[in-house]
Amino acid sequence: MKNTPLARVSGTILLTAFLVLTLVFAVQGSFETRAQITNTFDRQSQIQQAQIDLEELLRLQIDEENSLRGYSLTRDPFYAGQYRQAAAGYDAKESAIRRTLREQRLIGAEQLLGTYAHLQSEWRKDVAAPLLRHPGERLDELDKRNKLFSDYETGTVAAIRQALAGTDAALVRSTQLQLDRSSYVRAAWVLVFGLLAILFNTYRSRLNRELEEERTISEILQRAFRSESMPLPHCEVGSAYVSATTHLAVGGDVFDVYRLSDTLALVLIADISGKGVDAAVLTAFIKFMIRAIALRKSEPSEILDEFNGAFAKAVGNPYLFVSMFVGVLDTSTFLLRYGSAGHDCAFVRTRDGVARLSITGPVLGVMEEPFGSEAIELHKGDILVLATDGLTEVRNRAGVQLSERGAMELIERATPHAQALADELVAQARARGGNRLRDDLAVLTIRVDGDPPDA
């Protein structure tokens, strides 16, 4: 079963939306993962900084103790200054580490740091202060207490170190986990995207195949509907056709040059109300029906009469009408007998200028009135120019129609050759309409090239 155009559009939009959505999710997922990993790396970086700071803290603590030993042994105030400097550095560094641990919510490590700081404070009170008061004295008990503090501080620092290392390792594991999960999720999205893309491609191929089939059918139909112009003896025939439906080569205008006998030729141009494929279907009907009538009746008024009766019955649409010019040209005398059913775009260009061929009856499909016929004798160099209202009604940017007078001026100025003249009229109409025509335009030109054989 073939898709309707609406279903095609919906299907394409739906699949495209799925593809875009998949892409958006994949990209969003990537950004989220990136943000998470960045956050983890930031946290890891802070913990690593805390580890470095902790080692620095331990160094400051040792500096503090060594300075105190130096002062106790030498009584040199330089060491007392060093001691105070190291103590101040220790306090500042301890505060910085405590802040980091709090920010990173490492409660265990923060508590251990508190213990460490408390021990150091106790050490200053119990060991450092007495030694500063009595430098040089050997105080065995203080030495032992110092050792006790040292052992406990070392133990506490080791525990903090372990806590930070544990958190660092946990973050590394977490990062690895995030990366793994992100890889799996991304792979899943790529898989979904790939499957959708395959589906989309299959769907598009199917649509293309359907469109190709339709195009082939359309071309076959267009060949059937297309206007034709047969070569005529001692005449040069030119034609041009532009459909308002840009992608179709058919429309509501039709022309035909058809040889009825060795000397008689049917010349037809008609404009059906409406345009597009529906109108084009009627053009085929008109073309072949007029040919059939003209093969029996060579008087244009009779052709129009018969067609008018048949058209109303066959089509059965009171809103549909046709303007038509039917001519029967005798190529042995160049006498043109014609009937014009409301068709006002028929001209003849002679050495004296351009004249419009008169209308001999109303448009077809409206009323049943008799049609008249006229005759005109053509001479060498004369050009019969038949067009549809797409020429006279083409508007410029200001909205002004070309009109019959404008068309006649164009015909008068144009190259006096049948095909060149037809092409020029179409080009001028296009140019006036801003390269876009609102109505179909057909032009048929017949130039008499020689003298009548009878002459």
Does position 37 bind other proteins by CB under 8 A? no
Q: How far is the CB of 48 from other proteins (least distance, A)?
A: 22
Coil/strand/helix, residue 76? coil
Shortest Å distance, C-beta 127 to other proteins: 12
C-alpha–C-alpha distance, residues 411 and 422, integer Å: 9
Tokens encoding 221: 């139909």
Site for other proteins in 360-389 (CB under 8 A): none
Closer by beta carbon to other proteins, 156 or else 428: 156
For residue 124, state whether it binds other proteins (rule: CB under 8 A): no
Of 79 and 347, the one with the shorter C-beta distance to other proteins is 79
Q: Give buried/exposed letters for 165-176 (b at 16+ CB in 10 A, else e).
A: eebbeebeeebe
Q: Which of 323, 416, 333 is nearest to 375 (CA)?
A: 333
Shortest Cβ distance from residue 150 to other proteins (Å)?
4
User: Using the rule CB under 8 A, which residue among 15, 97, 119, 384 binds other proteins?
Assistant: 119
- Token pair listed for 125: 């009170």
Q: Which is nearer to other proteins, 62 or 289 (CB)?
A: 62
Whichever of 59 and 234 has its CB closer to other proteins, that residue is 59
The residues in 136-155 that bind other proteins, with binding defined as CB under 8 A, are 140-141, 143-148, 150-152, 154-155
Report yes or no: 78 and 59 within 8 Å, Cβ to Cβ.
no
CB distance 349 to 289 below 8 Å: no
Tokens 């080791």 sit at which residue?
A: 158
Site for other proteins in 159-188 (CB under 8 A): 159
Beta-sheet strands, E only, within 231-382: 235-242, 253-259, 264-272, 322-330, 335-341, 346-350, 353-356, 374-377
User: Does 99 participate in binding other proteins (rule CB under 8 A)?
Assistant: no
Nearer to other proteins, 119 or 266 (CB): 119
**CA-CA-CA-CA torsion sign (95, 98, 100, 103):** negative
Q: Does 420 bind other proteins (CB under 8 A)?
A: no
Question: 256, exposed or middle or buried, with CB in 10 Å at 0-12, 13-18, 19+?
Answer: buried
Map residues 43-72 to x or -, x wherever contact with other proteins holds by CB under 8 A. Answer: ---------------x---x--x-------
- Site for other proteins (CB under 8 A): how many residues? 19
Q: How many CB atoms lie within 10 A of CB 373?
A: 19
In the complex, the smallest distance separating the C-beta of residue 109 from other proteins, rounded to whole angstroms, is 15
Identify which of 169, 326, 328 has the alpha carbon closest to the alpha carbon of residue 255.
Answer: 326
Q: Which residue has the tokens 């209202």?
A: 389
Choose between 153 and 389: whose C-beta lies nearer to other proteins. 153
Give the side-chain half-sphere CA count within 13 A for 429: 31
In angstroms, give the least distance from the CB of 162 to other proteins: 9
Helix (H) or strand (E) holding 387: strand 383-387
Nearer to other proteins, 141 or 214 (CB): 141
Nearer to other proteins, 115 or 263 (CB): 115
The first and second tokens of residue 351, run together, are 């050495």
Answer yes or no: are the C-beta atoms of 88 and 67 closer than 8 Å.
Answer: no
User: Which one, 142 or 264, has the nearer CB to other proteins?
Assistant: 142
Least separation, in Å, of the C-beta of 61 and other proteins?
8
Binding of other proteins by 26 (CB under 8 A): no
Part of the chain binding other proteins (CB under 8 A), chosen from 28-36, 81-89, 135-143, 277-285: 135-143
User: Of residues 23, 24, 35, 158, which one binds other proteins by CB under 8 A?
Assistant: 158
Residue ranges that bind other proteins, judged by CB under 8 A: 58, 62, 65, 119, 140-141, 143-148, 150-152, 154-155, 158-159
